[in-house]
Structure 1
Amino acid sequence: MTLATGVGSHPGDDQRAYDEAVRLVLGELPELAYLPEVPGRGATASMTGRAMAVVAALGADLQPAGWRLTDGPGVDQRRARSLLAQDLDGLEEQAQGYAGVFKVQVAGPWTLAATVERPRGDKVLADHGARRDLAQALAEGLGDHVADVRRRLPGVERLVVQVDEPALAAVLAGRVPTASGFSRHRTVHAPEASQALEWVLRAVAEAGAEPWVHSCAGETPLDLLRGAGARGLSVDHAHLSARDHDEVATALEAGETVALGVVPSTDPADVPTDAQVTEALLRWLEMVGLDPEEVGERLVLTPSCGLAGASPAWAQRSLALLHEAATHLSG
């Protein structure tokens, strides 16, 4: 059975929007729901803020330029942790009895290294030791996070942790700007990039969850992600190169999961029908030489990226559309 899910983020700017997102996800995606993110609530609810709430043994606080590492947890990091706990409380209340697959999301080590600053300024990416420490702190914190989610959702047998790495391609290509904006950080070579991801993905697996990696950015090296331990790839179909198509087909044939972004993440001028989405997927499966029945639930349908920039109406319609297309493929 083909499944449908979302990438993570939803529109809105207050707690009511988060509560509504939880209701929407649980209602529209009964087989593979997820913990929504509503970054419009502020920096503590952003992708980086969420991750800084999860990391262990590293302090952080907000500065005018964004999140910065500190000697101990700052007030903003404590607020981020409090907000995450509050959101999990709300999820636990609404998801009583839920027994499908469940997914949580967290920013990956290289996206954090490209967005979080060192205590002395500039990005963590500029310091080999700092980026190693940040990756290891994230790995350590994820073990506790997975255990907390499992405690709150005891009926879930299969828990997925989606590691978001939208900045990975830029890190590998040396395209991340320095604080001055006049230069670029040095390229991180593939072996080091793979090692940091491996620490994080191994921690997820050792905690009893299934590690996926998501990026809707083009030029993300999917073979590197799989080599580092990703057992699921979450990608935007529109950004796949010919080599990427081969890699995702190989992943599916190997029994791994591919979450394929197939509907727009923002309100489209022309809304596709469930039949059009299904037909496009069948053409793609034929192109890569895969049978829908054989692929089964290893193929997951998603929006092309997060829904934070969508209207509430499109956020709801996109998830319903994905569920309808998944049902057609399963039939």
Structure 2
Amino acid sequence: MSETTKRNWGPGAATGVGSMPGGDAREAAKTVTGSFEAFPYLAELPGRGPGADMTGRSLGLLVEMYGHVEPSGWRISDRPGRDTRRSWAWMREDLDALEEFTQGWTGPLKVQAAGPWTLATALELRGGEAFLSDAGACRDLAASLADGLRAHLAEVRRRVPGADVVLQLDEPSLIAVLRGQVRTASGYRTHRAVDRAVVEGAMRDVMAVSGGPVIVHSCAPDVPFALIRRAGAAGVSFDASLLTERDDEQIGEAVEGGTTLFAGVVPGTDTPLSDPAGSVMGVRTLWRRLGLSPGTLAESVVVTPSCGLAGASPAYARAVQAHCVRAARSLADNPE
């Protein structure tokens, strides 16, 4: 089993997706490490503004590539400006907070970054069109991201030496890239679909620098489980409410192949919470429908919110994370 497919979390695990509400890095780190004592993650705080959002935060990781904010979004720059420096500063603040609340920690620790294809749809070339419009630019972007992630993961391991670092690549735009559904800057047409082999190859190259397990997250419908698995992911993170029976075959093959399902079963925005066992009832139903052994359920599923919690109230964010832990425990205690 390769490094990218090797699990380092135990049965009955739960973790978060990435974002949290508010702008206080210490409070976010305290909440995350207190809630997910067995599988914490580096919280993201997009409420702070550009540079703390998923795209800006990930652009700050790039090597010899920089970005700045235009009215249309993030655009490539020749040199680091205010927006890039702000991204760097907030990442240092987040890492400082994580280090403070993980003293002596040993075990899995998850960090997140936008994947190469979501970045290619979100970052503009100098002329205003997305990187996705230029195959060479996409290759350069993926290479820069890989180099940046290598350094970033080394820094996390230096600060939390007992951590088994898990990398999560956020790819909400992946299916749109594959289907040619990403609109051009004019909005009147769409970019051509990218060949699946090209998409898979770029993801594989980025995953290869991780030195540990990689998870790919997408909160869009029709997650391409098979492609993500072939690229080398150890797990797939998704919004379980978007699954349909047409996903069954890919999910069954993924589980039987050793892929972990990071199942988003609890809403990411304020809503009344059911009992923890009720939150994972859909996962149990899926297992029965696929004819999978109940004994594999707790070791094959990590429970998460359906997506990030940036749009939630602070009280709900705390409650939903504790709820995920209890729901995961119910899978381990009662696999049937």
Contact 1:163 1:213 (C-alpha < 8 Å) held by counterparts? yes
Q: Helix, strand or coil for the counterpart of 1:2?
A: coil
* TM-score (structure 2 length as normaliser): 0.92
Contact 1:33 1:100 (C-alpha < 8 Å) held by counterparts? no
Counterpart residue identity of residue 149, structure 1: V
Shift of 1:246: 2.6
Q: Helix, strand or coil for the counterpart of 1:43?
A: coil
Q: 2:310 aligns with which of 299, 308, 311?
A: 308
Question: Within 1, Cα distance between the matches of 2:252 and 2:40?
Answer: 24
The alignment yields a C-alpha RMSD, in angstroms, of: 1.5
Relative to structure 1, the CA distance from residue 127 to residue 81 in structure 2 (aligned partners, 3 Å threshold; closer, same or farther) is same
Q: Structure 1 residue 261 and structure 2 residue 264: aligned?
A: yes
Contact 1:233 1:248 (C-alpha < 8 Å) held by counterparts? no
* TM-score (structure 1 length as normaliser): 0.93
Q: Helix, strand or coil for the counterpart of 1:233?
A: strand
For residues 283-322 of structure 1, the aligned pairs below 5 Å read: 283-322=285-324
Q: Structure 1 residue 110 and structure 2 residue 117: aligned?
A: yes
Shift of 1:127: 0.9
Question: Within 2, Cα distance between the matches of 1:266 and 1:10?
Answer: 11
Q: Which runs of 5+ in 2 are unaligned?
A: 1-10
- Structure-2 residue corresponding to 1:222: 225
Task: Decide which moves more: 231-240 or 279-288.
Answer: 279-288
Q: 2:84 aligns with which of 77, 82, 85?
A: 77
Shift of 1:292: 4.1
Q: 1:169 aligns with which of 160, 167, 175?
A: 175
Q: Helix, strand or coil for the counterpart of 2:238?
A: strand
Question: Within 2, Cα distance between the matches of 1:253 and 1:296?
Answer: 14
Contact 2:298 2:328 (C-alpha < 8 Å) held by counterparts? no
Question: Within 2, Cα distance between the matches of 1:136 and 1:316?
Answer: 37
Q: Helix, strand or coil for the counterpart of 1:317?
A: helix
Question: Within 2, Cα distance between the matches of 1:240 and 1:282?
Answer: 14
Q: Helix, strand or coil for the counterpart of 1:4?
A: coil
Counterpart residue identity of residue 110, structure 1: W
Contact 1:236 1:262 (C-alpha < 8 Å) held by counterparts? yes
Q: 1:245 aligns with which of 231, 243, 248?
A: 248
- Structure-1 residue corresponding to 2:7: none
Task: Decide which moves more: 173-182 or 136-145.
Answer: 173-182
Q: 1:148 aligns with which of 155, 180, 183?
A: 155
Q: Which runs of 5+ in 1 are unaligned?
A: none
Question: Within 2, Cα distance between the matches of 1:210 and 1:93?
Answer: 24
Q: Any idea what the Cα deviations from partners look like across 1:99-139, whole Å, max 9, x if unmatched?
A: 23110000011111101000222111111111111011101
Question: Within 1, Cα distance between the matches of 2:199 and 2:235?
Answer: 18
Counterpart residue identity of residue 236, structure 1: D
Counterpart residue identity of residue 115, structure 1: A
Question: Within 2, Cα distance between the matches of 1:6 and 1:239?
Answer: 18
Shift of 1:244: 2.3
Q: Structure 1 residue 236 and structure 2 residue 214: aligned?
A: no
- Structure-1 residue corresponding to 2:46: 39
| Misfit runs of 4+, over 4 Å | none
Contact 1:35 1:103 (C-alpha < 8 Å) held by counterparts? yes
Q: 1:189 aligns with which of 195, 204, 217?
A: 195
Question: Within 1, Cα distance between the matches of 2:230 and 2:246?
Answer: 16
Shift of 1:287: 2.0
Question: Within 1, Cα distance between the matches of 2:99 and 2:299?
Answer: 25
- Structure-2 residue corresponding to 1:11: 21
- Structure-2 residue corresponding to 1:132: 139
